[in-house]
A = this chain, B = another copy of it.
Amino acid sequence: MAQRKRRNCRIVFEPSGLKTEVPPGATILEAARLAGVYLTSICGGDGYCGKCKVVVNSGETESPPTTLLAPQEVRESIVLACQTRVLSDLTITVPRSHVLDTGRIVVDSDAHRFSELPGEDIGEGAFPYEPLVQKLSLRMSPPTEQDQVADHERLYMAIREASHVPLLQTGYRILLQLPALLHEAQYQVTAIVAHRGGVAEVVDIEPGDTSRCNYAVVVDVGTTTVVAHLVDLATATTVDAEATYNSQMHFGDDYIRRIIYAEQHDAFGEMQRRIVHDVNDLIQTLAVRQGIELSCIASVACAGNTAMTHFLLNLDPRRIRRTPYIPTAAWIPPIRAAEAGIRINKRGLLYVLPAVGAYVGSDIVAGVLATRLYEAPGLSLFIDIGTNGEVVLGSKEWMVCASSSAGPAFEGSGVKHGMRAAPGAIERVTVTAEGGMTFHTIGGERPRGLCGTGLLDVLAALLELGVIDRTGRFALPDDPRLADGSDGLEFTLVPAEAGHNPIVITQADIANLIRSKAGVYAAIQVLLESTGTRPEQLQSIFVAGGFGNYLDVRKAIAIGMLPDIPTDRIHFVGNTSIAGAKMAVMSRDALAKAEQIADRMTYFDLMNHPNYMDAFMQANFLPHTDLARFPSVRQRLAPADGPTERTNE
């Protein structure tokens, strides 16, 4: 007999009210994705991170047993969304802290951060304002018997008159349309001219004057977060910004795991679809919010680590994680954005900034460009702390770089109450005279978790208060704020309140954070020592990354993440991946400079460096085994140092 078609199940997600339908047997995580509800999931749906907890209010589900849920949670109908299959219509409540946030915050914070960049002054600074994609309004005289220049050459002459362009190219498609288009527009048209290397391509011709409608999107394609800025090229201003989590996170926290996943599941296409979808979502959001047509966006410039840019373009990333550790392309030529599935003007271009190699991506090159490290007479250090910790040391004379797999702890991942810099994130922690802590959240909201700077501050505060010792272990077993939680020992930062879970930091969180900072510091140490540089020679340290709005550099020194140099030489420069890509999109000279920078940087492979592992082990203390490296910290630690030292003995 004919098979009866089973009815789809209706799933409602509270408190957002978003709905979807899925066939019975789908997981709640799949339903959430369809509904546009983004749940935190670090393990990518494999059921071992325990982040995707939701409450099933009504309806029938099926889940395998798991140790990731406490008996109390099971009683409260809490399930793991990725492991739970839908059997009927459901109403689900998603705890607010488990939704991935998207946020306005980025714009405000960037405005603040970029003010610290030494020269983000396109047009006035080193780089002339010459966008990669120009829209040139051309008012040509129609041909006459006295002026028999052909349409194509007439167009070229007008373009050359309107803008200094080097070699020009035109696609066949344009040529086919040209006569009718010019005739109908009475020779008043706008040429979209895109620069690729030394060549300018006429990518499209629009009737009339559309030159005011020329936008670029600049994207920082991060492993954990994807940030996009919308730039109005007619006025050279950033008009909006938006961020989201990289939805590849379902397939692993770091890009190495994602490459492995893609290899094992033949999922490179899926990886690309995910990240392209994220980028398209950001672009769509920006365009809708600003009321502009996608056809007005004629360029996208991306920077990111090399694996991410490979995923974005579906270039083979497999040898990034395997010998000989090379990318398919460190320099990716501009392509039509549509070829990669990115939805802007159909003929618009996608530019990817150049990378140094497999482990030092275009985000770092963008950072060196944005901070002007490449032209500084004195030595500087550039540190980008994201899912990985990349470090550049150099000046206008030479540049060396390295990458440590710091892990995404400071991006809030792998930390129980970690979150990204969004409203409600604790971004600053102050130790009170009474030995307590006060918390400052983004937007002044009730604390929901800790962003990068908050985590860094907590670590410093716990150390300062003696709650943890220099190995990071909890040192005051009788402290009432210390308890045995589901993930082992945890310290309560913000106690539970009616309807709100407490915010805690676990022993495992602290170990993760220390490993992250140790990776960064060890990389710095190896570069300094390998080049015979003493920390005091550093004229500047630029710290980039998605920490939040604010970084207390004294605390970064206190925990041993940054070398102990005068704090006025340390600059928190925010998202320089975006800043550098923005410079490139606004000035082809800046892009050319980025190519030179990528070319000039010498890569140090830390994994094969004889001193790295030792340096890393030494840095796995707060601040370091060798306190002589941190004289200012030693001084401050002195009173509290006794007991900490004792614990170690």
A169-B325 in contact given A150-B357, A176-B314, A357-B148 (Cβ < 8 Å): no
Contacting pair A324 B143 (CB below 8 A): yes
The docked-state distance in angstroms from the alpha carbon of A329 to that of B196 is 23
The docked-state distance in angstroms from the alpha carbon of A319 to that of B182 is 13
Q: Which chain B residues lie closer than 8 Å to A145 at the CB level? A: 323-325, 605, 608
Q: Which chain B residues lie closer than 8 Å to A166 at the CB level? A: 198
Number of identical protomers: 2
A150-B324 in contact given A145-B608, A175-B315, A197-B169 (Cβ < 8 Å): no
A144-B324 in contact given A152-B329, A313-B175 (Cβ < 8 Å): yes
The docked-state distance in angstroms from the alpha carbon of A179 to that of B197 is 23
Contacting pair A150 B325 (CB below 8 A): no
The docked-state distance in angstroms from the alpha carbon of A169 to that of B333 is 7
The docked-state distance in angstroms from the alpha carbon of A4 to that of B648 is 96
Task: Answer yes or no: A335 CB below 8 A from chain B CBs.
Answer: yes
Contacting pair B328 A150 (CB below 8 A): yes
**In the complex, residue of chain B having the shortest beta-carbon distance to the beta carbon of A336:** B172
Q: Which chain B residues lie closer than 8 Å to A358 at the CB level? A: 148, 150
Task: Answer yes or no: A161 CB below 8 A from chain B CBs.
Answer: no
Task: Answer yes or no: A48 CB below 8 A from chain B CBs.
Answer: no
Task: Answer yes or no: A2 CB below 8 A from chain B CBs.
Answer: no
Give chain B nearest CB distance to A140 CB in angstroms: 12
**A residues 311-332 with Cβ under 8 Å of B?**
313-316, 318-319, 323-332
A150-B197 in contact given A316-B180, A324-B144 (Cβ < 8 Å): no
Q: Which chain B residues lie closer than 8 Å to A314 at the CB level? A: 176
Task: Answer yes or no: A178 CB below 8 A from chain B CBs.
Answer: yes
The docked-state distance in angstroms from the alpha carbon of A315 to that of B328 is 38
Q: Which chain B residues lie closer than 8 Å to A340 at the CB level? A: 172
Question: Which of B147, B167, B179 is within 8 Å of A319, CB to CB?
Answer: B179
Contacting pair B324 A175 (CB below 8 A): no
Contact-size category for A: 35 or more
The docked-state distance in angstroms from the alpha carbon of A587 to that of B225 is 51
Task: Answer yes or no: A339 CB below 8 A from chain B CBs.
Answer: yes
Contacting pair A328 B175 (CB below 8 A): yes
Contacting pair B327 A150 (CB below 8 A): yes
Give chain B nearest CB distance to A327 CB in angstroms: 5
**Contact pattern, A 367-392, Cβ under 8 Å of B = 1, otherwise 0:** 00000000000000000000000000
Contacting pair B175 A332 (CB below 8 A): yes
Give chain B nearest CB distance to A638 CB in angstroms: 45
Task: Answer yes or no: A170 CB below 8 A from chain B CBs.
Answer: yes
Give chain B nearest CB distance to A402 CB in angstroms: 13
Contacting pair B197 A325 (CB below 8 A): no
Contacting pair B179 A143 (CB below 8 A): no
Task: Answer yes or no: A149 CB below 8 A from chain B CBs.
Answer: yes
Give chain B nearest CB distance to A149 CB in angstroms: 7
Q: Which chain B residues lie closer than 8 Å to A149 at the CB level? A: 326, 330
Give chain B nearest CB distance to A537 CB in angstroms: 29
Q: Which chain B residues lie closer than 8 Å to A550 at the CB level? A: none
Q: Which chain B residues lie closer than 8 Å to A168 at the CB level? A: 197
The docked-state distance in angstroms from the alpha carbon of A608 to that of B144 is 14
Contacting pair A167 B326 (CB below 8 A): no
The docked-state distance in angstroms from the alpha carbon of A301 to that of B138 is 32
Task: Answer yes or no: A261 CB below 8 A from chain B CBs.
Answer: no
The docked-state distance in angstroms from the alpha carbon of A313 to that of B172 is 9
A150-B326 in contact given A313-B175, A316-B180 (Cβ < 8 Å): yes
Task: Answer yes or no: A114 CB below 8 A from chain B CBs.
Answer: no
**In the complex, residue of chain B having the shortest beta-carbon distance to the beta carbon of A182:** B328
Give chain B nearest CB distance to A148 CB in angstroms: 5
**Contact pattern, A 597-626, Cβ under 8 Å of B = 1, otherwise 0:** 000000101001000000000000000000
**Contact pattern, A 177-199, Cβ under 8 Å of B = 1, otherwise 0:** 01110000000000000001111
Q: Can you offer 26 A-B residue contacts whose CB atoms are under 8 A?
A: A142-B324, A143-B319, A143-B324, A143-B326, A145-B605, A147-B324, A148-B357, A149-B326, A150-B326, A151-B327, A151-B328, A151-B329, A152-B328, A152-B330, A166-B198, A168-B197, A175-B315, A175-B328, A175-B332, A176-B315, A178-B316, A179-B315, A179-B328, A197-B199, A198-B199, A199-B199
Top 4 closest A-B pairs, CB basis?
A152-B329, A179-B316, A143-B324, A172-B335
